Amino acid sequence: MKTRLIVISIVSLLSATAFATTYVRVEPDGTKTYSDRPIPGGQPVELQSAQTYSSTPAPASASGLPAEQQLLKDMGEAFRYDSCSLRPAPDQAFVNPEQVSVGVTLKPSLRAGDVVDLRVDGNSAGQNSQSMTIKPVYRGSHTVTVSVKDRFGRQLCDSSTTFHVHQPSLNSPARQAPPPPPKPRPPPKPK
């Protein structure tokens, strides 16, 4: 009981002084005298309240972990795609195609936040594009590459393939007109 009374007295005394008016008086030598009671020649002053700090917890992610812990957990995961296959198939040949479709198939499907970089002969298929159609298709060999990275820039999947396009030229023996038939020879003259 005595302890409780002492605690209540201390708390009330502290709260009373915390909200009390403060008085100041400037002495003849320039020093200042402060008091919590009115003093002769003193003026009331308003003091700014003390700086305080209240912490707020970091917002929790969908998993219930704070954002920083979730980020560390995500970075520690060793996720990789099971399959990262390209089409057309390696060394597939096309003869006189009007267009060729290229693309990537991922297993499992593309995760949110992962970035696909599909390129044909070094040219990008577009932001996060998983397929494109090449039209016109020029003769020769063409290389298709894909790179999939997570939001931290780590490589999750990469693959490449080469396909070939054959387009006979006008000078090709298969496209040249057949030679004209030989001219008939006059019959030989009798001797």
Whether 77 is in a domain gets the answer: no
pTM above 0.85, yes or no: no
Indicate if 25 and 98 belong to the same structural domain: no
Cβ distance 60 to 71 under 8 Å? no
Computed over every residue of the chain, the mean pLDDT equals 80
Q: What is the mean pLDDT of residues 44-56?
A: 75
Indicate if 35 and 87 belong to the same structural domain: no
Whether 56 is in a domain gets the answer: no
79-91, pLDDT tens digit by residue? 788 888 999 999 9
Indicate if 93 and 146 belong to the same structural domain: yes
Per the omega criterion (within 30 degrees of 0), is the bond before 88 cis? yes
Indicate if 94 and 148 belong to the same structural domain: yes
Q: Domain with 103 in it: what CATH number?
A: 2.60.40.10
Instruction: For residue 127, list its beta bridge partners.
Output: none
Q: Which structural domain range is residue 121 located in?
A: 83-166
Pull the structure tokens for residue 48. Answer: 């700014």
Indicate if 29 and 87 belong to the same structural domain: no
Is the model more confident about 173 or about 165? 165
84-116, pLDDT tens digit by residue? 899 999 999 999 999 999 999 999 888 888 899
Residues contacting residue 11 through CB under 8 Å, at least 6 positions apart: none
pLDDT of 69 over the 90 cut: no
Domain count, the chain: 2
